[in-house]
Chain A
Amino acid sequence: MNYQPPRYEPFELHGDALREAIVRYATNPIYLDNEEWENSDNPYRRQLRPQVLPHLDFDRVPGRDRILEYSSLAAQRLLTSIYEADLMFLPKGGLKDKYEDFRQFYSPGNRALGEMIRPALERFSFGFLDEEVEVSGKWTKESFASYITSLDADSPAEPSLSEKAILSSGDRERAARMWLIQFAPDFLSEASPMIRNVLGHYGAPQSEWFKIVIDEYGYGVHDTKHSRLFEQTLESAGLQSDIHRYWQYYLVSSLMVNNYFHYLGKNHELFFRYVGALYYTEATLVDFCRRAAALLTEVFGDGVDARYFTEHVHIDQHHGRMALEKLIEPLIEAHGESVIPEIVRGIEEYRVIQTIADEDFARQIAWMDNGPENKKLHAPVWEAITSGRVTAPVADIVEPHAELSNTHSHEGDELCHIVSGTMKFVSGFDSYQILEAGEGTVIERNRLHGAIIESDECVYQIHSVGDYKKCLS
């Protein structure tokens, strides 16, 4: 008798099954909308806007030109929540009434549902890198060394678009706070993604990597732990430092940067990519942190605590070298030159993501700074609609007092028009316009925003104009 074992089918979720699983995960009470703009010392509450998820298609791979759209923001928020169920968070003020949220977040059910949808969300969120980065040819130790030299990663660089946007902003302190907020997902749980790679057993490089972790964790002295230093940076800049307080203000690209390392660390087949990305980030952080410390001091004065950044100026000189000489080179020696393409790919993928995040943040600061101009643009765009020159799909919405539209974005430009009542339209941290009846604002494509109703009731319309500039001619 011939025994035929059942055929092995790799696990994949697609179509309706994927959509249903995502919605099921995100309808956990800890992921519902917040009634406030900020979370209050509750690391388990993450607004995933589950009411919108049934309408999104995650069963595809958006290209780079669509990677900042709302579907991507939703996916990155989901992934952040899924990855961080592996990390340990406790409220600063004690569990107290958050014990049930704690249990929910770390429950096997929440974690299992997250793991089911994670591969599809990773494909959706990072699949564009397959098109963006391609390694070819036969790589040797010598050609890799030439490539690393050509990167010149540890040399001084020009200020990034983000830094320029802060320094040229009409409200530099607000812009700098928005900037620090973007780092919070990464810096407040600093080095957690890389710790995924110090588990297991793989020889001397493992111990070398552990040395980097020891530095990041301040040698067991809590006040020197890098995440503690960053808490003090936040606090000295007038921000609070509890985990994900500013969840609603994270840009899609900021979450992408942080999630990228979780993605590489969680999927150990991407280990060599992680090593490459680690090298590049550690090597470039030296100059970045030098500029960041100077920028914060220029914006906030000498009272700002920039030790997080000055500490990295020093230690990352070692970490870049350690990543190259103690991790990468021994790994190539031990496992052969065939691992080099993955290392190169990690370097280049990280550079792509870094560029996307830099451009996205600079655009968001411009969008925040342009709030009054966007409000003025309501008049000509509204005129184009009422005169019939432009026809756009419209949604009529009625919301009660204190209704908060948790932050989101749209795939095309829109016009918000207030019919009656008062709306506070929020375009970033501490950035808003008050809109009264007859007023409104242009909402730019892919720009993070939210709103809260300040009158007893607000009746307003959202006109999906696509490209508001076409309404101006």
Chain B
Amino acid sequence: MSFSVAGRENCAEIAGTPYVYARTSEGSFVMRATCPHRGGPLHLATLEPEGNRLVCPWHTRKTSMSRMRQEIPAVRSGDTVTAVFPGTAEADVRLSYRPLSVDLAG
């Protein structure tokens, strides 16, 4: 499915799980917008200065970016990203908005 890289409808919610497109200094990719720890706002995470990890603003839980970058196959064309989410055909799908941290907004 396709959604916006930025602005309104920059978040694809697939069966309740939100995803956003992150543009970082280490590369761009589609990522879950919630932290696997306690569901914190990972779309507002900062990039660890020395490493390849995102730091969740809730409990500073660190999530490996290299694994995250592999998770969702996607292609960005201009301001639109098309991603292939698992089980999209049967899932409840909707678009919404999530602000992105400076480190994830490119």
Interface positions of A (Cβ within 8 A of B):
64, 132-140, 143-144, 146-147, 150, 340-341, 344-345, 348, 351-352
Contacts and interface: CB of A to CB of B under 8 A. Distances in A.
Interface string B60-84: 0000000001111111111000111
B30 interface: yes
Given A136-B30, A143-B84, A146-B84, A351 B77 contact: yes
Contacts of B74: 135-137
Contact of B1 (A132, A150, A341): A150
Contacts of A132: 77-78
Contacts of A146: 84, 88
13 contacts: A64-B78, A135-B74, A137-B30, A137-B73, A137-B83, A137-B84, A138-B71, A147-B73, A147-B84, A150-B1, A150-B84, A341-B75, A352-B78
A133 B76 contact: yes
A137 B69 contact: yes
B96 interface: no
Nearest to B76: A134
A279 B74 CA distance: 18
Given A135-B76, A136-B72, A150-B2, 16 more contacts: A136-B29, A136-B69, A137-B70, A137-B71, A137-B72, A137-B84, A138-B73, A143-B73, A143-B84, A146-B88, A150-B1, A150-B84, A345-B75, A348-B75, A351-B77, A352-B78
- B interface SS class: strand
- A interface SS class: helix
Interface in B22-79: 27-30, 69-78
A345 to B, nearest CB: 7
A414 B84 CA distance: 47
A146 B85 CA distance: 9
B28 A134 contact: yes
A139 B77 contact: no
A132 B72 CA distance: 19
A248 to B, nearest CB: 31
A352 B28 contact: no
Contacts of A147: 73, 75, 82, 84
Sorted nearest first, the 4 A-B pairs with minimum C-beta distance are A137-B73, A143-B84, A136-B29, A138-B70
A133 B75 contact: yes
Given A147-B82, A150-B1, A150-B82, A136 B76 contact: yes
A344 B78 contact: no
Interface residues of B, number: 20
A48 B87 CA distance: 53
A144 B74 CA distance: 10
Contacts of A351: 77
Contacts, number: 61
Nearest to A129: B77
Contacts of B30: 136-137
Contact of B77 (A136, A140, A348): A348
A455 B83 CA distance: 61
Contacts of B77: 132-133, 348, 351-352
Contacts of A134: 28, 75-76
A431 to B, nearest CB: 31
B88 A136 contact: no
Contacts of B70: 137-138
A395 B33 CA distance: 57
Nearest to A349: B77
Nearest to B89: A146
Nearest to A151: B82
Nearest to B86: A143
A199 B43 CA distance: 48
A144 B84 CA distance: 8
B76 to A, nearest CB: 5
A136 B72 CA distance: 8
Nearest to B22: A136
A348 B83 CA distance: 13
Nearest to B68: A137
Nearest to B78: A132
Nearest to A139: B73
B84 A136 contact: no
Nearest to A347: B75
A135 B75 contact: yes
A344 B84 CA distance: 12
Contacts of A139: 73, 84
A344 B75 contact: yes
Nearest to B80: A348
A351 B72 CA distance: 22
B1 A137 contact: no
A342 to B, nearest CB: 11
A146 B1 CA distance: 9
Contacts of A133: 75-77
Contacts of B73: 136-140, 143-144, 147, 340
Contacts of A138: 70-71, 73
Contacts of A345: 75
B66 to A, nearest CB: 11
A132 B70 CA distance: 21
A344 B76 CA distance: 10
Contacts of A143: 73, 84
A31 to B, nearest CB: 34
